[in-house]
């Protein structure tokens, strides 16, 4: 579930996606819950083997019991126990997972972290989300808030009323960061604003000075954020997710910019070639959220079956 659309699918226990679809999200609570129920009912009626579980990945601070402290842009779900709501409406076991955590889980199951025990996922989109895996376990923190990398502050907070304007999200996300920073400068220069990051990269390639400056700062800000994560978590690998992760040129530019910063960091430069993590794109792309949510259901049911067999 995202702020724009709900992507859904039917998945088997091996992670094969049998069917996929999508609908617009909508933000009214009851309508949204009804739409989720309809999706499940259609799969239940059309599946010969039955539906054994429901996994939902979504933005926000998600507690392990399915209670949503926040829900990204879906404000009508704030303070809702979504697990309880879905189970009452469908009668089917349900797990709710933060979307960035779901990506991290999916990459461990079927992606580029299958042989890693300690790694970090950085999800670039409207904001900057993250999934942290320590010793093969997702680290959630006290409130389920761990991984809100976009909240990190990077510089220049003196005399600023809202210091979140200096956060990673508002400097190094794709929408709130790159696009927003470009448009702020475009308005000052009375130039045309953009709505798509691809336009900015194309303008940069075409030699537009504004795009060159904004992209350069964007790459620096994102690399600084990643450098801080390396110092905090010492991961084996850092995975970059979100739609932009499909852009191989972008991934190479981030890798190059990060290496440049590591060389300029006196303490970290000593560790170059001695185990600093590589930065790679996620493998599962737009399917990661669905697969990560389903895997949580799979594991929970396997544990339940073991307990029942004792």
How is 100-132 classified by DSSP, letter by letter? HHHHHHHHHHHSTTTT-SSEEEEEESSSEEEEE
Handedness of CA 198, 202, 203, 209 (dihedral sign): positive
**Strands (DSSP E) found in 177-244:** 237-241
**Whole-number pLDDT of residue 4:** 82
Residues 6 or more apart in contact with residue 266 via CB below 8 angstroms: none
DSSP secondary-structure letter at 75? G
| β-pair partners for 67 | 81
Tokens of residue 112, six digits: 């580029």
| β-pair partners for 64 | none
DSSP three-state, residue 30: helix
Tokens of residue 306, six digits: 């073991």
- Within the chain, what is the greatest distance between any pair of CA atoms? 71
The CATH topology of domain 115-282 is: Nucleotidyltransferase; domain 5 (3.30.420)
Q: CA 108, CA 113: separation in Å to the nearest integer?
A: 5
Question: What residue ranges of the chain are covered by domains with CATH 3.30.420.40?
Answer: 5-102+287-309, 115-282
**Whole-number pLDDT of residue 11:** 95
Residue range 5-102+287-309 forms a domain whose CATH class is: alpha beta
Pairing of strands 137-138, 128-134: antiparallel
**Whole-number pLDDT of residue 308:** 82
**Whole-number pLDDT of residue 136:** 95
Which H or E run contains 79?
none
- Following CA atoms 263, 175, 287, 83 in sequence, which dihedral angle do they give, to the nearest 10 degrees? 110
**Whole-number pLDDT of residue 300:** 86
**Whole-number pLDDT of residue 243:** 87
Q: CA 279, CA 281: separation in Å to the nearest integer?
A: 7
Model pTM score: 0.90
Asked whether the beta carbons of 101 and 292 are under 8 A apart, the reply is yes
Q: Over its length of 310 residues, how does the chain's per-residue pLDDT go in tens digits?
A: 987 889 999 999 999 999 999 999 888 999 999 999 999 999 999 876 789 999 999 999 999 999 999 998 899 999 999 999 999 999 999 999 999 999 999 999 999 999 999 999 999 988 899 999 999 999 999 989 999 999 999 888 888 889 998 999 999 999 999 999 999 999 999 999 999 999 999 999 999 999 999 999 999 999 999 999 999 999 999 999 998 999 999 999 999 999 999 999 999 999 999 999 999 999 998 899 999 999 999 998 888 888 887 7
């Amino acid at each position: 579930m995202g702020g724009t659309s709900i992507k859904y699918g039917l998945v088997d226990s091996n992670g094969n996606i049998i069917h996929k679809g999508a609908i617009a999200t909508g933000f009214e609570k009851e309508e949204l819950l009804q739409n989720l129920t309809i999706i499940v009912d259609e799969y239940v009626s059309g599946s010969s083997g039955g539906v054994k579980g429901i996994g939902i990945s979504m933005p926000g601070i998600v507690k392990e019991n399915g209670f949503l402290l926040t829900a990204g842009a879906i404000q009508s779900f704030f303070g809702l126990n979504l697990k309880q709501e879905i189970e009452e409406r469908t009668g089917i076991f349900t797990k709710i997972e933060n979307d960035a955590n779901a990506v991290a889980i999916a990459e461990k199951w079927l992606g580029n972290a299958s042989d890693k025990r300690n790694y970090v996922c950085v999800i670039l989109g409207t904001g900057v989300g993250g999934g942290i895996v320590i010793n093969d376990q997702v680290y959630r923190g006290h409130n389920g808030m761990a991984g809100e990398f976009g909240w990190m502050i990077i510089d220049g907070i003196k005399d600023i009323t809202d210091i979140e304007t200096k956060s990673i999200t508002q400097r190094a996300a794709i929408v709130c960061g790159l696009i927003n920073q470009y448009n702020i400068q475009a308005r000052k220069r009375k130039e045309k604003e953009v709505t798509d990051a691809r336009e900015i990269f194309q303008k940069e390639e075409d030699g537009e000075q504004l795009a060159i400056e904004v992209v350069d700062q964007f790459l620096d800000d994102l690399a600084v954020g990643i450098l801080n994560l390396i110092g905090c978590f010492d991961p084996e690998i850092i995975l970059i997710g979100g739609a932009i992760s499909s852009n191989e040129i972008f991934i190479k530019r981030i890798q190059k910019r990060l290496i440049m910063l590591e060389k300029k960091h006196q303490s970290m430069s000593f560790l170059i070639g001695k185990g600093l993590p590589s930065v790679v794109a996620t493998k599962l792309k737009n399917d990661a959220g669905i697969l990560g949510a389903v895997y949580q259901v799979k594991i929970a049911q396997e544990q339940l079956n073991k307990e029942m067999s004792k």
